[in-house]
């Protein structure tokens, strides 16, 4: 699943297919968000291990993120900064905000799906009177 070769391109292509298939399967948002996290995690790991991300892979990854945002509306692509740990934090913040919005709209199944997906990725959400807070927890 390295971003700099054919396997990386196949990984992105498969991720798009999996994302769309999960949403076609009774709008499985938890699974779709899991696919989104898998792509982000793969890119972050590659960069953390010193792999340069090729322009082609970067453009394809951004297209995937834009597609996810078009469908789910949970990523603030204007404020994402590539190649930093803050990118992952920004996505988590956006997902927590989307969960808050779902709870406000009494869409508890979507809120639960987001919470469960974050929990499966080692992110715990604490609901407080000031709003939701998140923290990383050990697996």
**pLDDT the model gives residue 81:** 45
**pLDDT the model gives residue 19:** 94
**pLDDT the model gives residue 18:** 93
**pLDDT the model gives residue 79:** 57
Q: What is the pLDDT of residues 12-40, one digit of tens each?
A: 899 999 999 999 988 888 888 888 888 88
Round to whole Å and give the CA distance between 7 and 1.
5
Q: Is 88 helix (H, G, I), strand (E, B) or coil?
A: helix
**pLDDT the model gives residue 20:** 94
Domain ranges of the chain: 6-136
**pLDDT the model gives residue 24:** 92
pTM across the whole model? 0.57
Residues of the chain where predicted confidence (pLDDT) is lower than 50: 1, 81-87
**Residue found by looking up tokens 């989307």 in the block:** 98
Strand (E) or helix (H) holding 127: strand 123-128
């Amino acid at each position: 699943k390295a971003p700099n070769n054919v396997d990386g391109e196949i990984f992105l292509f498969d991720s798009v297919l999996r994302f769309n298939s999960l949403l076609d399967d009774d709008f499985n948002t938890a699974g779709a968000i899991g696919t989104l996290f898998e792509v982000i995690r793969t890119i972050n790991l590659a960069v953390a291990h010193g792999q340069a991300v090729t322009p082609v892979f970067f453009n394809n990854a951004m297209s995937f993120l834009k597609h996810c945002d078009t469908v789910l509306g949970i990523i603030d692509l204007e404020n994402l900064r590539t190649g930093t740990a803050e990118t992952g934090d920004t996505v988590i913040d956006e997902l927590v905000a989307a969960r808050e919005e779902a709870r406000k709209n009494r869409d508890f199944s979507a809120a639960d799906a987001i919470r469960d997906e974050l929990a499966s990725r080692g992110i715990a959400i604490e609901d407080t009177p000031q709003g939701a807070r998140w923290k990383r927890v050990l697996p």
